[in-house]
Amino acid sequence: DGGITQSPKYLFRKEGQNVTLSCEQNLNHDAMYWYRQDPGQGLRLIYYSQIVNDFQKGDIAEGYSVSREKKESFPLTVTSAQKNPTAFYLCASSAGGDYSYNEQFFGPGTRLTVL
C-alpha cells in the first residue's frame, strides 16, 4: 500500500537532547512538508521541500533542521534550541511539486514529549 509512514508514534526525550523524527513516503511525491500541531492551534509549517536536495523554512523553523537526500525521505531534527518542543508533529507530501493543486497526504504523526 502506498502512503506516508512516521516513526515512532510516541517519543520521549530529556530536555537538551536532539531528536530526529522519521518520515518516509512511497507515493513518488516531489513535495514534502513538516507541520507542528499544538492544542488549541492550527497546523503550523516548519519546513518544506519541493525536490530532492532542496528545502525551505516555513513559518516556525527556529530550533529545527531537515534534510532531503532521497525523494522518499524527509527527516526532521528537533534540536535543543527549540524552546517548546513538546507537540504533535505531522509529515505530509503532495504530487507534482509545490506548484500544483494536488492535495496533501499526511502521515499518522509523532507525538514528542520532552521531559
Partner 1 sequence: DAKTTQPPSMDCAEGRAANLPCNHSTISGNEYVYWYRQIHSQGPQYIIHGLKNNETNEMASLIITEDRKSSTLILPHATLRDTAVYYCIVRPPNAGNNRKLIWGLGTSLAVNP
Q: Which is nearer to partner 1, 85 or 107 (CB)?
A: 107
Q: Which is nearer to partner 1, 16 or 40 (CB)?
A: 40
Binding residues for partner 1 (CB under 8 A): 4, 6, 31, 33, 35, 40-45, 48, 56, 58, 88, 90-92, 94, 98-99, 101, 103-109, 111
Q: Which is nearer to partner 1, 48 or 74 (CB)?
A: 48
- CB 45 → partner 1: shortest distance, Å? 6
- CB 111 → partner 1: shortest distance, Å? 7
* Burial classification of residue 13, based on how many CB atoms lie within 10 Å of its CB (0-12 exposed, 13-18 middle, 19 or more buried): middle
- CB 108 → partner 1: shortest distance, Å? 5
- CB 54 → partner 1: shortest distance, Å? 13
DSSP, residue by residue, the chain: ---EEEE-SEEEE-TT--EEEEEEE-S--SEEEEEEE-TTS--EEEEEEEETTEEEE-TT-TTEEE--SBTTB--EEE-TT-S---EEEEEEEETT-TTS-PPPEE---EEEEE-
Q: Which is nearer to partner 1, 22 or 104 (CB)?
A: 104
